[in-house]
Amino acid sequence: MNMRTIIFATGNEHKMVEIRMILSDLGAEILSQKEAGIDVDVVEDGTTFEENALIKATKIAQEAAKYEAYQDAVVLADDSGLEIDYLGGEPGIYSARYMGEDTSYDIKNQALIDRLSGVPDEERTARFVCALAAAYPDGSSEVVRGTMEGRIGYEIAGENGFGYDPIFVLPQYGCTSAELSPEKKNESENGGQLLRERPRGPLGEAPLHLVLLRSSHVDHLPSRTSPTVCFTV
């Protein structure tokens, strides 16, 4: 396997669809952790999105290095989530585990709406946060952070997303992220502007949210002077 291999530390199929779409012009082979045959549980015990993303990228890179085929692979990992100001930043880094990992997002979303019952629009501000980490073959690493601002709606709405998308309202459109087409979402979001500037490129969670990644470590990624946008949540 050559330098054009990127392993993304996730088992989230929704995320991989978006990642492949975003990085399609790099000419790289893009594999999920599972597709690369790396079966390891990573304990995300960091206190910030950045720490958790770096923990995942570093651990998976260590495992990938054990395979001859992945000696030159770049490993990307993200940690992302929803921060609601009225709730003191909850669910934050615990977004995926909020109310239990096996709890459906329909239940999680409704619970958050219920907790904001009676709270006016101006106090329902929120943001999706994504930190993207890259671990390189030479042992170096870097992590970047991106956000998408919005507010929490009054009901679950939309089918074009997952995770917390159906309750995350983009004020400029007056609808949730899950009600926008992928194309319109890219046009409207801060990350979408970066994508158009890019040469597009964390990764969201719950929808994948966009972050800026600069790299000069491998020849198939743009240079540090050329921003690459990647998703996450």
Domain ranges across the chain:
5-230
Judge: domain 5-230, CATH 3.90.950.10. Answer: yes
229 torsion bin: left (phi>0), alpha (psi -120 to 50), beta (else): beta
Query: Residue 199: which region, alpha, beta or left (left: phi > 0; alpha: psi -120 to 50)?
Result: left
pLDDT reported for residue 186: 52
pTM for this predicted structure = 0.76
The pLDDT of residue 125 is: 98
Q: Which helix (H) or strand (E) holds 176?
A: strand 175-176
Residue 22's pLDDT is what?
A: 76
Q: Which residues of the chain have pLDDT under 50?
A: 1-3, 189-233
Instruction: List active site positions.
Output: 79
Q: What is the pLDDT of residues 81-100, one digit of tens each?
A: 999 999 999 999 999 899 99
Q: Are 231 and 210 spatial neighbours (Cβ–Cβ below 8 Å)?
A: yes
pLDDT at 228: 34
pLDDT at position 2, please? 44
pLDDT at residue number 207:
32
Residue 105's nearest CA partner among 85, 129, 82 is 82
Q: How far apart are CA 144 and CA 221, in angstroms?
A: 15
Best CA proximity match to 128, nearest among 181, 78, 76, 196: 78
Residue 35 DSSP label: T
